[in-house]
A and B are shown apart, each in its own frame.
Chain A
Amino acid sequence: MSDLSDLLAIAAQHSSHGLILLDQDLKIVFFNAWIAKAGGLKEDTSIGKTLEEVFKAPVAPRLNAVLNNAVQRGQSALLSPAFTPSPLPLAHPNHPDLLMKQKVSVSSFKKGASRYCLIDVSDVSLAANREIKLREQTKLLHQTLNKLSHILDGVSEAVLSTTCDDYMVQTVNKAAEKMFGVAERDLVGVPLGRLVAQLPTHKADQTVSFETETEYGLGENKKSGFLSVTVNSQTSFDVLTWVIKDISALKDTEQTLIEAKKIAEEASKQKSRFLANMSHEIRTPLNGILGMSDLLWGTTLDLEQQEYTEMIRKSGETLLAIINDILDFSKIESDKIDYDIVEFSLTDWFEDVIGLVRPQAHFKGLDLGYHLDFPRGARVKGDPLRIRQVLFNLLSNAIKFTNEGGVFVRLRVDIGPDERAWLFLDVQDTGIGIDGPDQEQLFLPFVQIDGSSTRRYGGTGLGLAISKRLAELMGGDLTVDSRVGDGSIFHFKIPVESLQFSPMGRPSLAVAELRVLVLSDHPFSARHLEKMLASWDVSCALFTDLAAMDAAGIESTDFHLVFLDCAAQNDTVLIALRGRSAFAEARFVLLRQVSPTQSPMKEAKNDPYVVSVHKPLKSGVLVPLLTGFQAPEPSARKQPTTPSGNSNIKIHMLVVEDNPVNQKVIGRMLTKSGFHVDIAENGEVALSMLGEQPFDLVLMDCQMPVMDGYQATAEIRERFAAQDFRIPIIALTASAMAGDRERCLRAGMDDYLTKPVKQDALLQMIKKWVDPVLQRRSEAGA
């Protein structure tokens, strides 16, 4: 018996619960190791004491009541942690600051006459924590599931899961119910193959996508449409996920777009073809104009005729440039324009442009003046053609919209705030002007300010738009200041790459001492003259007319040089002044408009003291006037350079060209340089001529009736392939469209010239191909 009692005592020490045995007076009889550890109790100091004595803290009142009941009435009880979380003051196993959560039961029993009670304590702190965690995770899982099903029900695609072998539907979303026209309960358990006529086969661990036109739906709800079906398989899940969508509407839209794109591309191609044709149609007569003016230049011409001829040529070139720019308009719009950055002299460049518009201005009786506000001889780097295009446009517009008064240009080079050199061009007119709101419209393509002005002033409305875009593409800007009735000033500025001042020799004459009188009734012309003289450090006395000069009382001054700009009064003023003693030694410069109606003055013809010049006075003309008072020499006539001197006579050329004017122009250019030339009017004629006699070179037009240049070249290459001498064929083409060069070379031609053909370029090209021929011939002869 004692053995068993010892054994039980040891067993009680090993219990996973806390055990405390109390006697009838609630004094401790026994406690096990669990309690010793949890409550820090020591056996020698604890036995025979009450709970409150050993724990040094009160126990829960509920536990006290239960213990009293147990020893007095023999009743057993249970304490739930819900009502009494910590009956005994024991510490939490992990958090010493907190109390352990306990489940306590109190059992009452009797041994002999004595009553005892056993307190059984178990720690539920961790269990409670685990429960809470599990609960939180379950809640999260529920939320996630809810979210997922919400998403699934929200998507527009039908989403279904099926078994892997027979594709039996397991779950569906709202879109699937809608798509197949039946409720979820009628879809679950149905093989997917019954819902959709054509299905892809799934592949393990892959996503298979599939588009097909098929029937789908159940029973009465059968539809047909273009379906996109995606099936996903993952070996870790024993289910397939299907995403199905009816994309019929998308397919329709796609088809419409493809057709629309086709039409648009076709239209674009047609436009390109039209442009190419137009280009050819315009270039052919232009070729005639330029060629003929070149030939005319070579004949004996007086000064005036030379000037007019030059004007024809320059106008033609400008027209050519305009055609090029219209062709380039699409390029400008897509910012794909090319630049040719070269160094050029600002003065020469500017006066060239002025020369082009001068006849226009003078024809309308407009005064045209300018002020070159930069060091003499300034050279800049930029694209002179593109800048000229803008300036020419601004000048043409100014003249077009001005009926009285004139146009004044100020050209200035300055260092901008960005420390780069900038070119500033202000074009001022006294025209109709534009109001504020309309100024914004001004730079839009195809817009003219007022419908009526389209008829009154003509034009495409493209000019300012191109100019503005060009200015911006070159890094500059184009703006306008204007008020209706007050005329307009267009400000154009662009950065130029570098700024150089070539040391241009000053005239040896001490021009500063020169006394100069200007009589001008045109404010712009007067300003022009004044500024130009100032640039040579020459000051002048400036009056509007004779009366104003007399009123100023400068009768006694001796003048060396007198500029007269009094239009019809020039003659009378000249006669009046020459009668006065102060003007005995004076030389007179009569400024006159270039106008076919104005005949040169008879009296001035042979008078060494009087010279006539065109308005506006060019700086190149001013220098000799200041220094030696000689009439400006006509510009040196350039003789066309002949490629190889007399040897040209031995060169036999074939020109294949259908247009009679071009036949004549090119023929004349070549015969004048000493070549022996034959003409063929189309490819077929050329072929038969080449078969009859040997030629050294062929100039081949590309677009011709009967047989065009490409075909003719191909035939020549094929027919004469066996000959030792491969005859050079140079293409002459009016179509300047991209890709033409490649087409010519592919057809078997050797080189390429764009119409209108210029004499210099033509001769240079011929020299390039003829020189080797001549050399071989001389070697063979030697």
Chain B
Amino acid sequence: MNLSETHADLLKETFNIGVGSAAEALSEIAGGEEIILTVPQLRMMTLGDLGRQVRDVSGEDICSVTETFRGPFSGKAMMLYSQRESLELVRLMLGDMIPVEQIREMEGEALCEVGNIVLNACLAAMADMIGSEIETDIPQLKVGHFEKVLHQEAVGSDEHSILYLRMDFTMARYQLNGHIGFVFDLNSMTSLLACLENYLNSMLEM
């Protein structure tokens, strides 16, 4: 299933608002360091496409932060970084707040929190757009080979569509390349499209 150009533009705009507020929240917990999040790319794809895309950009060993969401449409939201870059991201954010030797045991939870903030912000922006609530659950961290990690997130992959976003994280002189995916089943996908159509119509009516 594909998005029309209009739908895609609408979502892109929505998510940029979302990651903008997420960046603000992250900057706050990182002690005021400037953080810039951008979404340069957005498209629909299958699970197989996602796997290739992630491997091409981030390599085989990845970390994912996943949370389920419920609302007019339901599914799983996930943020993916290569293991190396997720570690770097956390270290950049923690800076000299805590001693280096303590980072390792906390980096999983820290990454989880970062993912939670980003995903919650994106979903909140979407909820605001459609004028409805989208509830989220507590996020979970998964570490491992990309195929294994992705397989756990989607059951019966062919029936699922994935709304994929490239998300780049920039802090100080560093730029890290990550991914955001929203996994929808067929019903949810239909609902999403309907919601987008409603929003566009309401906009046009004004």
What is the interface of chain A, defined by CB distance below 8 A to chain B?
A: 61-62, 65, 69, 73-85, 103, 105, 107-110, 127-128, 131-132, 135-136
1/0 contact trace for B123-150 toward A, CB 8 Å? 1100100000111111100000000000
Size bracket of the B interface: 20 to 34
B115: nearest chain-A partner, CB-CB: A78
| Inter-subunit contact B138/A73 (CB<8 Å) | no
| Inter-subunit contact A107/B102 (CB<8 Å) | no
- Interface stretch among B46-54, B106-114, B182-190? B106-114
| Inter-subunit contact B105/A83 (CB<8 Å) | no
> What's the minimum C-beta distance from B30 to chain A, rounded to whole angstroms?
8
| Inter-subunit contact A62/B28 (CB<8 Å) | yes
| Inter-subunit contact B90/A82 (CB<8 Å) | yes
| Inter-subunit contact A73/B109 (CB<8 Å) | no
| Inter-subunit contact B116/A62 (CB<8 Å) | no
| Inter-subunit contact B124/A73 (CB<8 Å) | yes
Per the bound structure, the CA–CA distance linking A77 and B127 in Å amounts to 17
Per the bound structure, the CA–CA distance linking A80 and B103 in Å amounts to 11
What A residues does B103 contact at CB under 8 A?
82
Knowing A65-B25, A69-B124, the reply to whether A78 touches B135 (Cβ < 8 A) is no
Per the bound structure, the CA–CA distance linking A131 and B30 in Å amounts to 23
Q: Taking the complex as formed, is B120 at the interface, i.e. its CB lies under 8 A from any CB of chain A?
A: yes
What A residues does B90 contact at CB under 8 A?
82
| Inter-subunit contact A82/B94 (CB<8 Å) | yes
Per the bound structure, the CA–CA distance linking A503 and B158 in Å amounts to 139
Q: Taking the complex as formed, is B57 at the interface, i.e. its CB lies under 8 A from any CB of chain A?
A: no
Interface of chain A: mostly helix, strand, loop or mixed: mixed
The residue that B120 contacts in the complex, of A69, A83, A128, with Cβ under 8 A, is: A69
Q: Can you identify 18 A-B contacts, CB atoms within 8 angstroms?
A: A62-B28, A62-B29, A65-B25, A73-B134, A74-B134, A75-B136, A76-B136, A76-B138, A77-B113, A78-B109, A80-B112, A81-B106, A82-B110, A108-B135, A109-B135, A110-B135, A135-B101, A136-B101
B108: nearest chain-A partner, CB-CB: A80
What B residues does A62 contact at CB under 8 A?
28-29
| Inter-subunit contact A74/B133 (CB<8 Å) | yes
| Inter-subunit contact A131/B124 (CB<8 Å) | no
| Inter-subunit contact B124/A75 (CB<8 Å) | yes
> What's the minimum C-beta distance from A481 to chain B, rounded to whole angstroms?
79
B69: nearest chain-A partner, CB-CB: A75
Considering residues B94, B101, B103, which has the most beta carbons from chain A within 10 angstroms of its beta carbon?
Answer: B101
Per the bound structure, the CA–CA distance linking A759 and B124 in Å amounts to 137
The residue that B135 contacts in the complex, of A65, A75, A82, A105, with Cβ under 8 A, is: A75
| Inter-subunit contact A80/B105 (CB<8 Å) | no
Per the bound structure, the CA–CA distance linking A741 and B28 in Å amounts to 107
| Inter-subunit contact A105/B138 (CB<8 Å) | yes
Q: Taking the complex as formed, is B93 at the interface, i.e. its CB lies under 8 A from any CB of chain A?
A: yes
What A residues does B123 contact at CB under 8 A?
75
| Inter-subunit contact B102/A131 (CB<8 Å) | yes
What B residues does A77 contact at CB under 8 A?
113, 116-117, 120, 136, 138
> What's the minimum C-beta distance from A100 to chain B, rounded to whole angstroms?
15
What A residues does B112 contact at CB under 8 A?
78, 80
Considering residues B93, B97, B117, which has the most beta carbons from chain A within 10 angstroms of its beta carbon?
Answer: B117
> What's the minimum C-beta distance from A138 to chain B, rounded to whole angstroms?
10
The residue that B127 contacts in the complex, of A73, A84, A85, A132, with Cβ under 8 A, is: A73
> What's the minimum C-beta distance from B94 to chain A, rounded to whole angstroms?
6
Q: Taking the complex as formed, is B98 at the interface, i.e. its CB lies under 8 A from any CB of chain A?
A: yes
Per the bound structure, the CA–CA distance linking A103 and B105 in Å amounts to 13
What B residues does A82 contact at CB under 8 A?
90, 94, 97-98, 102-103, 106-107, 109-110, 113
Per the bound structure, the CA–CA distance linking A74 and B136 in Å amounts to 7
> What's the minimum C-beta distance from A72 to chain B, rounded to whole angstroms?
9
Q: A79-B113, A83-B29, A131-B105 are in contact. List 14 more A-B contacts (CB 8 A).
A: A74-B134, A74-B136, A75-B120, A75-B123, A75-B124, A75-B136, A76-B67, A76-B135, A78-B138, A81-B109, A108-B136, A109-B135, A127-B105, A135-B101
What A residues does B124 contact at CB under 8 A?
69, 73, 75
> What's the minimum C-beta distance from B13 to chain A, rounded to whole angstroms?
20
What B residues does A109 contact at CB under 8 A?
135
| Inter-subunit contact A78/B113 (CB<8 Å) | yes
Per the bound structure, the CA–CA distance linking A80 and B138 in Å amounts to 12
| Inter-subunit contact A80/B137 (CB<8 Å) | no
Per the bound structure, the CA–CA distance linking A547 and B42 in Å amounts to 146
Per the bound structure, the CA–CA distance linking A264 and B195 in Å amounts to 113
> What's the minimum C-beta distance from A22 to chain B, rounded to whole angstroms?
16
Per the bound structure, the CA–CA distance linking A40 and B67 in Å amounts to 34
A83: nearest chain-B partner, CB-CB: B29
4 A-B pairs with least C-beta separation: A74-B135, A80-B109, A82-B110, A82-B106
What B residues does A75 contact at CB under 8 A?
120, 123-124, 134-136
A110: nearest chain-B partner, CB-CB: B135
What B residues does A128 contact at CB under 8 A?
102, 105-106
